[in-house]
Structure 1
């Protein structure tokens, strides 16, 4: 199995460390520890209020910055060009880095000048301060407009994706356009551990249900996942999911699960079914 998603020169490990909702010293310790264990993909965002904690970890770690893929995001109320630029500058300052590997618009919003927002996003890439750019939580219709109509060079999209939520249409689109799809909440806030089908597969292979759920995601072409894990045992378990052996029988069982369980849908979320 390919362990790197290398679309648009992303060079992004398929398994990353999600940092929400960790804060302060807890977050710094978790990131330093993850890097020691072998993680090379860290996911943060301005709205998580932990970019500075991640930045402290990047400085403390013995792993060279250029070997670590860092993703961050701008919040939906900061999408005017001026605010977006200020937010991005703050992100780089907090991370104590002169670039991010991937910079995303965290959520779409209403009443925005989409063209100017995207122009600003592209400018970060042109300046070399964002190695790659993308979007998060965009429904298919909006991603299609950005990529096909406006011709913005998106490298990735990040969305909620797990064994109980289908993202087949977005994934098809991502593959057509050579983009990565990054799964957040890949364990459905640990609901996967309570699913009898996932428990059954885990028991058959002598692994944890969470490892089954993660392997199902990251074995898919162009899919990465960013589970949050602060403790060493969970970080190691998630890393070990890369080596879990799933077979066609396992995949068929997972395919039968309901695929409409969405965990994250705040009041400002877009119409998810817009195609």
Structure 2
């Protein structure tokens, strides 16, 4: 497993995303993933599965301190009192004293960003949160968050895949030593139908999904959190660090495509 350095932590470069995983599916998937070697798990208040994620971690053979655990605050809970209360609720559901990373799930133009970020910093001071970050922020929004946060912004979690390579944001994050966390790195399955990824994968005896994940994680400062409920696919998503794409392949794989990105979003909404 490769890692991305964030402050004093080494974050596993591949983690498990849990969006749209409910109930026992979430529990079983997280527990299986941990048994396979995953040590990075991502959830959110809005996903409605924090309790099942926490139960899976508690019931696994992996120590809580060995799991890099992320959750996200819902945008309607950014008022400082609401934020702190919601995080205490999340910790209770996750059956843990702290989360390694707490994110603002989406920008909320109606919230007081300064007050919100001060509340997150208070949680760091209290030991309930180790690192803070944001999700779905543009470069300008990320800059504002950095300028206002009393503690470093560790990551920006965004959609990042070959059809949405986020070049401007990636360069900015790399220059600022901010981890880019790639959600939907498989473009909700769209990479599986891609001829170029199939062709490159054949030369390495890898699937298109593995090529897409290797493409993402070969970028400096990027970790990826693919979602899967299949044990086989969970295993494959971890099995990407025994090959390396060359510079030409990395360049060719990145093909910004508005239509593909729209199709990806539709696939995600339809499940």
**Which category of TM-score, normalised to the shorter sequence, fits these structures?**
over 0.9
Give the aligned partner of residue 22 of structure 1: 21
Give the aligned partner of residue 207 of structure 2: 208
Q: Which runs of 5+ in 1 are unaligned?
A: 266-275
Shift of 1:152: 4.3
Q: What pairs with 1:22-61 in structure 2 (closer than 5 Å)?
A: 22-61=21-60
Count how many residue pairs are aligned between Structure 1 and Structure 2. Answer: 263
Give the aligned partner of residue 73 of structure 1: 72
Separation in 2, partners of 1:80, 1:90:
15
Shift of 1:7: 1.8
Separation in 1, partners of 2:256, 2:109:
31
Shift of 1:226: 0.2
Q: 2:256 aligns with which of 258, 269, 272?
A: 258
Shift of 1:4: 1.0
* CA deviation string 1:193-214 (max 9, x = no partner): 1111111111222210000000
Separation in 1, partners of 2:232, 2:245:
22
Separation in 2, partners of 1:204, 1:175:
30
Q: What secondary structure does 1:217 align onto?
A: helix
Q: What secondary structure does 1:22 align onto?
A: coil
Separation in 2, partners of 1:149, 1:22:
34
Say if 2:106 is the partner of 1:107: yes
TM-score calculated relative to the size of structure 2: 0.92
> Which stretch shows the higher mean deviation, 63-72 or 77-86?
77-86
Q: What secondary structure does 1:6 align onto?
A: strand
Shift of 1:137: 0.5
Change (3 A) 1:239 1:150: closer
Separation in 2, partners of 1:150, 1:127:
16
Separation in 2, partners of 1:174, 1:86:
30
**More helix per residue: 1 or 2?**
2
Separation in 1, partners of 2:49, 2:148:
35
Change (3 A) 1:252 1:169: closer
Separation in 2, partners of 1:85, 1:151:
16
CA contact (8 A) 2:160 2:184 kept: yes
Give the aligned partner of residue 154 of structure 1: 153
Q: What secondary structure does 1:107 align onto?
A: coil
Shift of 1:150: 5.1
> Which stretch shows the higher mean deviation, 148-157 or 33-42?
148-157
Structure 1 residue runs of 4+, over 6 Å off? none
Give the aligned partner of residue 133 of structure 2: 134
RMSD, aligned α-carbons: 1.6
> Which stretch shows the higher mean deviation, 147-156 or 86-95?
147-156
CA contact (8 A) 2:113 2:148 kept: no
CA contact (8 A) 2:102 2:131 kept: yes
Say if 2:188 is the partner of 1:189: yes
Q: Which runs of 5+ in 2 are unaligned?
A: 267-271
